Amino acid sequence: DAGVIQSPRHEVTEMGQEVTLRCKPISGHDYLFWYRQTMMRGLELLIYFNNNVPIDDSGMPEDRFSAKMPNASFSTLKIQPSEPRDSAVYFCASVDSVYNEQFFGPGTRLTVL
């Protein structure tokens, strides 16, 4: 298995632009998590899905952020419009609830100028 796949690995954009981050979880995993990591705030849970259904989005910072999981093999995190304070590394992680272990992707490093 290729593990959790995220794209792009690096994204540089200008303030006000729309940004879409993509994640392909490990096949057969039933949970998917989106995290944001910064030096100031550490690792923050943004939202998670169970069987493609959003369960808890209380960590989404504001309405500019949205996440979807249209099927078991794909999820997106969208920021519109982006702001410099959104600059961070965004991780996707998937879980097989039988084993309760999170598998993280390599992350997307987002820079908003």
Partner 1 sequence: GDSVTQMEGPVTLSEEAFLTINCTYTATGYPSLFWYVQYPGEGLQLLLKATKADDKGSNKGFEATYRKETTSFHLEKGSVQVSDSAVYFCALSQAGGYQKVTFGTGTKLQVIP
Is the backbone peptide bond immediately before 81 cis, with ω within 30 degrees of 0? yes
Question: ∠ CA 71-22-30 to the nearest 5 degrees?
Answer: 40
Among 20, 74, 76, 104, the residue binding partner 1 under the rule CB under 8 A is: 104
* Amino acid occupying residue 1: D
Helices (H), 11-113: none
Among 48, 67, 69, 77, the residue binding partner 1 under the rule CB under 8 A is: 48
Q: What are phi and psi for residue 7, nearest 5 degrees?
A: -145, 150
- Number of residues located near partner 1, criterion CB under 8 A: 21
Name residues contacting partner 1, limited to 17-46 (CB under 8 A). 31, 33, 42-43, 45
Chain residues that interact with partner 1, rule: CB under 8 A: 4, 31, 33, 42-43, 45, 48, 50, 56, 91, 93, 95, 97, 100-107
